Structure 1
Amino acid sequence: MELKTEIIINAEPSKVWEILTNFEKYPNWNPFIKTLIGDVKIGKPIKIELQGITFKPKVLTFKKEKEFSWLGHLLFKGLFDGEHSFKLIDNKNGTTKFEQSEKFSGILVPLFKKKLTTETKNGFIKMNKQLKIEAEKKL
């Protein structure tokens, strides 16, 4: 199962990336990811806190101004796994297409499907909108 959201931000990818990767300021603007702590390097674990849940995924990609992704598991691999991704696409006109997605797998996914397609997707959309506001007000 996959969730995917996108938004056009009226700012260059460098500006969007600067905000997206300034993890210390997440509590000031990010309504979805409350905190992100750790050494953000490929293969390293990070600690992420959402509303009511904390998990420690491993960083999969961290390509400056292009992509940031991680893979997390609930308890152990195969139970409930999520590969989360942020992609920044340069529209070459001063705007950036920001995509946020997550691929879910594991035996518990059907149990959480309704919550994922409502609450989790709404969290993505809220974060995207706030990222847009942050990037556009700093022009």
Structure 2
Amino acid sequence: MRTIESAIEIDAPPERVWEELIDFEEYVEWNPFIPRASGEARVGHRLTIKIEPPGAREFTFTPKVTVVEEPRRLAWLGRVGLPHLFDGRHSFHLEPLADGERTRFRQHEVFGGVLVPLLLREGAIQRGFDAMNAALKRRVERKAPVKA
């Protein structure tokens, strides 16, 4: 098993970050790592996700949503082929910071299966997570209401 993680602080409350995170149709406007996504953030539903890891081939898959804890956590399970060949358990965590007006946003994925050593491009995925986090921060902070 391999784990990849990336985190960033966003100057907006978790509810605001959550709105952008689950607005899959808008990913095309801002998300360099997942430029296409569709579906509904509901447990048991399948999403269609296209990832474009920097320096690696693009890939489209249909993960199943496993956790929705609005506005704190969204998770899915993606597979290539049969179970235990190449599985990815991806989660997004939104943690309110002490002031309640900022959020620590974290992506976390655990990869498992016999094909992981052959197929996983860790560096590309890490760069993709980092790029998505930075783009989400820019988008949310640009759209956040101005504080008085």
The alignment's C-alpha RMSD in Å is: 1.0
104, 108, 116: which is aligned to 1:101?
108
134, 140, 145: which is aligned to 1:135?
140
Q: Distance in 2 between matches of 1:39 and 1:23?
A: 8
What is residue 47 of structure 1 aligned with on the other side?
48
Segments of 4+ in structure 1 off by > 4 A?
none
Question: Is the contact between residue 33 and residue 132 of structure 2 (CA under 8 Å) also seen in structure 1?
Answer: yes
How far 1:58 sits from its partner (Å)? 0.5
Partner letter of residue 37 of structure 2? L
Partner letter of residue 110 of structure 2? K
What pairs up with 1:1-139 in 2 under 5 angstroms?
A: 1-51=2-52, 52-93=58-99, 94-113=101-120, 115-116=121-122, 118-139=123-144
How far 1:86 sits from its partner (Å)? 0.4
Calculate percent identity across the aligned residue pairs.
39
TM-score, L = length of structure 2: 0.89
How far 1:92 sits from its partner (Å)? 2.9
How far 1:40 sits from its partner (Å)? 2.5
How far 1:32 sits from its partner (Å)? 0.6
Aligned residue for 1:31, secondary structure, equals coil
Question: Is the contact between residue 22 and residue 41 of structure 2 (CA under 8 Å) also seen in structure 1?
Answer: no
TM-score, L = length of structure 1: 0.94
